[in-house]
Amino acid sequence: MKAKVIKNEKEYQEALRAIEDLMDAASGSPDEERLDLLSLLVRAYEAEHHPIGLPDPIEAIKFRMHQEGLTQKDMQKYFGSQSKVSEVLNYKRPLSLSMIRALHAGLGIPAEVLVQEINLAESVRAPEAQKQ
């Protein structure tokens, strides 16, 4: 595939196949340059046609807890009390501004993820969300 702006799904699939073929390109080779260029073109197409939304704020917190091996008790310093930790993680209380600031500063969770509005009424969540 010739490197060019990707305009449709067919060209996108062709670019993905070309990238796969070039994955083992030697460092500094023309194939590596072609791989870099195709990767940029694919990223641009995906950003426009297959955007990935922000994660749910509570699920992002739970994910970070899992990554860091943190317990609900460890989270008290970000939420203020054990009851607030439990209420937030179970979608019964919204995040406050002070919680958002603490989680962003302490755990590096992007503020843009944490400030999203959570619909607590709808969050008698699916069983999989309540298990975590």
pLDDT per position as a tens digit, 45-77: 999 999 989 999 999 999 999 999 999 999 999
Looking at residue 130, its pLDDT comes to 46
pLDDT at residue 98 greater than cutoff 90? yes
Tens of pLDDT, residues 7-41? 999 999 999 999 999 999 999 999 999 999 999 99
Annotated domain spans of the chain: 9-49, 57-131
* 57-131: CATH superfamily: lambda repressor-like DNA-binding domains (1.10.260.40)
Measured between alpha carbons, how far is 43 from 30 in angstroms, rounded to an integer? 20
pLDDT at residue 119 greater than cutoff 50? yes
C-alpha closest to that of 55 among 67, 45, 41: 67
pLDDT at residue 120 greater than cutoff 90? no
Please indicate, yes or no, whether the overall pTM of this predicted structure exceeds 0.75: no
pLDDT band of 122, cuts 50, 70, 90: low
Measured between alpha carbons, how far is 117 from 56 in angstroms, rounded to an integer? 9
